[in-house]
Amino acid sequence: MRADAQRNIDAIAAAAVACLSRDPEASVGEIAKAAGVGRVTLYGHFPSRAELVDAALARAIADGHAILDAVDLDGDPRKALSRLVDASWELVNRFRSLLLAAQHTLPPGRIQELHEGPADRMRKLLERGRDDGVFRTDLPTSWLISTMQNVMHGAADEINAGRLEATDAARYISSTVLAALTPPGKRVP
């Protein structure tokens, strides 16, 4: 593999992330142009649109993974969760449109598969909080995780619709999620 080919593959993946994050229906042609590459060259590296979207999502998640690594998950699980949710929210908001593209391009289950890493991180923290008695145990962790994701995605929609200020979002999300995770009978923080 020649060095410039590798460089182009990288540029295309980066452009795909950028374009699809703006418009989930961005065409292959647009992405090629954004990468500074001919459409044919792109097809040389990614046989189909689906594989391109897959690569873009994988790249975005990998980037996010690195960012989330910097979040301190020790100490009070509620505080830790709040920190993790804040950081995750940043990412969800940024890649929201890309996810939409993936949803009607990738085969069902593939997205879940790519999200295993981030979900695991969340699950570990959630389980620690459950052991400490600060998070509820009457609902499955998978449901709680998807609820957090849904709240974040919803916030992104509200911002897009102009009904919510981006500066308020993080606080709203944290408050809502922490309340939703509180075990029945316990006080909301």
Q: How far is the CB of 177 from DNA (least distance, A)?
A: 36
The window from 35-43, 47-55, 74-82, 148-156 that contacts its own copies (CB under 8 A) reads 148-156
Q: Which of 14, 18, 49, 111 binds DNA (CB under 7 A)?
A: 49
By the rule CB under 7 A, 187 interacts with DNA: no
> Which of 181, 176, 178, 189 has the alpha carbon at shortest distance from 137?
181
| 131 close to 140: Cβ distance less than 8 angstroms | no
Q: How far is the CB of 54 from its own copies (least distance, A)?
A: 17
By the rule CB under 7 A, 40 interacts with DNA: yes
Question: In 69-163, where does DSSP find H-type helix?
Answer: 77-103, 110-114, 116-131, 141-160
- Rounded Cα distance between 143 and 118, Å, is 15
Q: What does the CA dihedral 72, 74, 75, 80 come to, rounded to 10 degrees?
A: 50
| 17 close to 98: Cβ distance less than 8 angstroms | yes
By the rule CB under 7 A, 36 interacts with DNA: yes
| 140 close to 115: Cβ distance less than 8 angstroms | no
Q: How far is the CB of 95 from its own copies (least distance, A)?
A: 17
Q: Which of 14, 18, 34, 43 binds DNA (CB under 7 A)?
A: 43
By the rule CB under 7 A, 20 interacts with DNA: no
Q: Among residues 16 and 136, whose Cβ is nearest to its own copies?
A: 136
Residues in the site for DNA, rule: CB under 7 A? 1-5, 8, 27-29, 36-41, 43-45, 47-50
